[in-house]
Amino acid sequence: MLTEKPVSEERPSGAADALDDLICFFDGRYVPQREARVPLMTHAFLYGTAVFEGIRAYWNEEQGQLYGVRIREHVERIRRSCRIMLMEPTPSVDELTEEILEVVRRNGFRQDIYIRPSFYKSTPTIGVRLHHLEFSHYIVAIPYGDYIETEAGCRVMTSSWRRNVDEAIPARGKIVGGYVNMAFQKSEAELNGFDEAIVLTADGHASEASAANLFVVRDGVLITPPVTDDILEGITRLAVLEMAGREGIPTEVRSIDRSELYIADEIFLCGTGVQVSPVVEVDHRAVGSGRVGPVARRIRDGYFDAVRGRRPEYRHWLTPIYETR
Q: Give yes or no: 186 in active site.
A: no
- How far apart are alpha carbons 196 and 282 in whole angstroms? 10
Give the residue among 25, 278, 283, 238 at the shortest CA–CA distance from 151.
278
* pLDDT at res. 5: 38
Say what the pTM is: 0.92
- How far apart are alpha carbons 119 and 18 in whole angstroms? 24
* Domains contained in the chain, CATH given: 16-143 (3.30.470.10), 154-307 (3.20.10.10)
Evaluate whether 201 touches 212 at the Cβ level (below 8 Å). Answer: no
* pLDDT at res. 16: 60
* pLDDT at res. 196: 97
Q: What is the mean pLDDT of each run of 10 residues along the chain (325 residues)?
A: 37 65 97 96 98 98 97 98 98 98 97 98 98 98 85 94 94 96 98 98 96 97 97 97 97 98 98 96 97 97 98 98 79
Give burial (CB, 10 Å; 0-12/13-18/19+) of 44. buried
Q: Is 108 left (phi over 0), alpha (psi -120 to 50) or beta?
A: left
Taking only Cα atoms into account, the Rg of the chain, rounded to an integer number of angstroms, comes to 20
* pLDDT at res. 226: 98
